[in-house]
Every structure is written in structure tokens, then in C-alpha cells.
Structure 1
């Protein structure tokens, strides 16, 4: 699965009831998870020992959890809650009606696009588990690292750029609909300022 070494494979169901009991979740929290998730199985344990790598200073291993979703338009908060509750580094393999995507929480929820499960793969790059885990996050998030940035800094920059682009799109829509020349001009000026902040013309 995901092109990961056979030595990492597991098939260990993780009952939702066990999660509820372990983390003493209230009825509302349980309902949110139940609304999105039908089943969770731990399918891989990727560790330094199993990969014959040096242990990381921070990361010793990570797990891949196969998560069967009840709906494709799931709540991201459900996955964030799950990731925060379980004190392990985790990749979530989300599946719904013959399609799949990968997700990982690292300061924010990063995801691939939906695709055929056979098209998904993780490349384990790095000489230590710290490096391997960072590269897994980069792959799933489609992150292009800029020189001098840490992973956290790059994620924050990418998030800010995405917010700016959404605001630009919103203002462009308003500008197209605006009839008054003065207001239209003001909107265009705002758009130009935001485009400069986001890195220039799109």
C-alpha cells in the first residue's frame, strides 16, 4: 500500500469506541467523528528500525491510518481533532466510494487531491526519520520549499498566499459587478496591492 516497504505493513483495526474511551470524548465530539468516519485501520508502521535508518531527534516513527469516510465532503475539523487527539505522527489514507486521498496534520491540514487509490504513493526520502517525515509532509502538501525557509515557515507563507488569492478572487468578482467607476477603480487598486503581496500577477 502506497508503495511502502512490506516490513511496515500492519492490519490493526482502531475502533472508534477505543478512541472515545481513551480520550474521554463527550457526546458532541463523538457525533462529529461518527458523522464522517465509518472505520479506521492502522495499515503501516514506518519506523527507523524497519527502514534501517538513523532515528530522528524528534520523529521515531509514523503510522498510516486507513480511514473509511461516510461522505466525500467531510469536515476537516474531524481529521484535525483526530490528529491532535492521537499522540503519534500519522498519515491519513482517506477512502470513499473507490477514490482516495492522503492527509496529514502539521500546523494545518494538508491534503492531496482525490484520485484512484492505485495512483497514491509515498516516497521515503531522507537519512533520518526526521527527514523522512518532513519529506512525507512536503509530498502530501505539494509544498515547494523556498531557500532558507523551514517547513513551518513555508506552510505559513503558502497559507497566507492562498488567503490572498481567495481575497483577490472575491474582489475581482465585486469589481466586475460594480457599476460606479469610482468604486470600481478603488477595488482595482486594492486588487493590485494584494497581487503584489501575493507575489505579483497571477
Structure 2
């Protein structure tokens, strides 16, 4: 569940036109905005005042926006465009039928896997909005327990580490498929050699030896 205080609740529908008419979008992306997005709702607004935070920070407001989709396979550039052009820090709740996904833009767009409502979890933790934002990003963008255990690292360092883990998973999967299809023994051996190196790199990172 999304465990935000009741006094942060806004529940205000935002016209789609306010986004795609004023954002610097390509014609193709504007078309996808119309065809992919059903509605956008400002669910919650987090401020120092309504969270009763004693300390101030650089961030003045964090918003939770829900985006209900017309189709599940949507273009993530829609969410990215909204985040990049908004002065506030935004967490996105993407909804399609009874499936949910969290998303955040932090240098690039991060999205969780699709999940059922009972699996959805987002909680507030921190003494300033800056700390709360970092922890919301962690909950959305970071899936590796090893990365989350690195308490000495900044959010940017943790994201960089998570990105490398994601990259290695992708290249391992790609190399495994290529090795399986390769007919020439020499090339197949070269691919298996690369595969073992990628797996070794992943092992080092995920076991905290990197």
C-alpha cells in the first residue's frame, strides 16, 4: 500500500491537454499521449508543513501523480516528459486495470515491475523532504538488496550500481541467447568465455566485492 498521511491527499484530476499542449513533445509523442493515457490525477502533495518536518531542505514539494492507461504497453517517454518539465519532484503511480507500477525520473526513467495492488508499497522515511525523496527513489528504482545495504553510498552512487547490475543482466541474457544459437565452435567458445566474464562481474558486484 501507499502509506502517505491523510492530510497530504489532493485527488485532483489534471486535464491531459494541460500536459501535451504545453510540453515540448514531438507530434508522435503527442499522439501517444492521447492514445495511451486515460487520465492523470494529482494524488498527494508532500510538503514540510503537512508532514510536520522540523528541518528544511532544498526540495520544497514532492507530488504523487497517478496515470491511468488505456493500454499497458505505453511509451515511457510520456512519463519522462512530464517529469523533466515539472519543477517539483514527482513519483508516478502507473495504473492499467488491476495492475500497478511505480516510476520515477532520476537522470533517466526507472520503473518497477507490474504488480497487484496488495503488492504495492511506498512509505515515507526521512527528516527532510530531501531525505524522503531519496528514499522514495530507492523504493522505486533500486531492486538489488546488495545496493540497498550500501548505507554509506549516496542515492546517485546506488543508482549507478543498480544500473550496472541491470546492464549485466541484460548482456548476460543476450550473450546466452547468442551462444545457444551459434553453430561455429570457435565463436560459441568465445561467447561462452564472454558470458563467464559477465557473470563474474555480476557476482562481484552483487556480493559486495566490487
TM-score, reference length from structure 1: 0.89
**Counterpart residue number, 1:29:** 29
CA deviations 1:96-125 (Å, max 9, x no partner) are 112222111112222222222244232111
Larger mean CA deviation between 93-102 and 145-154 belongs to 145-154
Tell me if 1:199 matches 2:200: no
Counterparts of 1:56 and 1:36, CA distance in 2:
38
CA contact (8 A) 1:195 1:201 kept: no
Any idea what the Cα deviations from partners look like across 1:57-115, whole Å, max 9, x if unmatched?
Answer: 32122111111111111111111112112221111111111222211111222222222
Contact 1:124-1:135 within 8 A present in 2 as well = yes
Which residue pairs with 2:3 in the alignment? 3
Query: What's the Cα RMSD here?
Result: 2.2
Select between 68-77 and 157-166 the one with higher mean Cα deviation.
157-166
Structure 1 contact 100–115 (Cα < 8 Å) conserved: yes
Structure 1's 13 and 73: CA in aligned 2 closer, same or farther, altered over 3 A? same
1:86 corresponds to: 86
- For structure 2, the 5+ residue unaligned runs are none
Distance 1:179 1:81, change over 3 A: same
- Alignment correspondent of 1:51: 51
Specify whether residues 77 and 20 from structure 1 end up closer, same or farther in structure 2 by C-alpha distance, changes over 3 A only: closer
Q: Give the gaps of 5 or more residues in structure 1.
A: none
Change (3 A) 1:25 1:119: same
Higher mean alpha-carbon deviation, 123-132 vs 181-190, is at: 181-190
Cα distance in 2 between the residues matched to 1:201 and 1:124: 28
* Secondary structure in structure 1 of the residue aligned to 2:114: coil
Match of 1:172 among 154, 170, 176: 176
Partner of 1:189: 193
In structure 2, what is the equivalent of residue 100 of structure 1?
Answer: 100
Q: 1:160 to 1:21 in 2, by over 3 A?
A: same
- Runs of 4+, deviation exceeding 6 Å: none
TM-score (norm 2): 0.85
> Do the aligned residues in 2 keep the contact of 1:107 with 1:152 (CA within 8 Å)?
no
Q: How far off its partner does 1:201 sit?
A: 10
